């Protein structure tokens, strides 16, 4: 296996952070092309972060973006999604936006991998 050009853990962490932000930007663009309206990006709560909050046809969609290296295994990446954290963060978002409480909600996951088309998994899991 070739050695990484990054020398220390801090450089690797910064590179992973940048890679994640690029993935979120690509996922946001994908959603906009699918006529979703973006409501929030990287919404931070005391219980966790929601990558994207979007809306389409009266449904609030909480989106987790998973960026992986080449030939990512979707099943493994879906297993890495912390559903309870996302659900709690979504409840926090809804509490902060009481006018949206009557709308339907769902949880989607967008998988991104090098040299592959993005995969949008609609209604990936139920609210826990």
Q: What is the mean pLDDT of each run of 10 residues along the chain (128 residues)?
A: 66 68 90 97 93 96 86 62 88 94 93 87 85
- Report the pLDDT value the prediction gives residue 120, as an integer from 0 to 100: 94
- Report the pLDDT value the prediction gives residue 73, as an integer from 0 to 100: 62
Q: Answer for the pair 49, 89: CB distance below 8 angstroms, yes or no.
A: yes
- Report the pLDDT value the prediction gives residue 4, as an integer from 0 to 100: 59
Residue 107 and residue 105: Cα distance in Å, rounded? 7
* Domains of the chain in sequence order: 9-125 (3.40.1350.10)
Strand bridging mode 119-125 / 59-68: unpaired
- Report the pLDDT value the prediction gives residue 83, as an integer from 0 to 100: 86
Q: Answer for the pair 118, 75: CB distance below 8 angstroms, yes or no.
A: no
- Report the pLDDT value the prediction gives residue 27, as an integer from 0 to 100: 94
């Amino acid at each position: 296996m070739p050695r990484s050009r990054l020398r220390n853990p801090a450089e690797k962490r910064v590179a992973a952070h940048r890679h994640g932000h690029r993935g979120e930007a690509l996922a946001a663009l994908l959603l906009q092309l699918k006529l979703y309206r973006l409501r929030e990006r990287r919404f931070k709560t005391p219980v966790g972060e929601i990558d994207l909050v979007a809306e389409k046809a009266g449904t609030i969609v909480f989106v987790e973006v998973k960026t992986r290296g080449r030939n990512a295994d979707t099943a493994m990446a879906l297993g890495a999604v912390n559903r309870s954290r996302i659900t709690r963060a979504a409840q926090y978002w809804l509490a902060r936006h009481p006018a949206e409480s009557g709308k339907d909600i769902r949880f989607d996951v967008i998988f991104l991998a090098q040299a592959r088309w993005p995969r949008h998994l609609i209604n990936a899991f139920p609210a826990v």
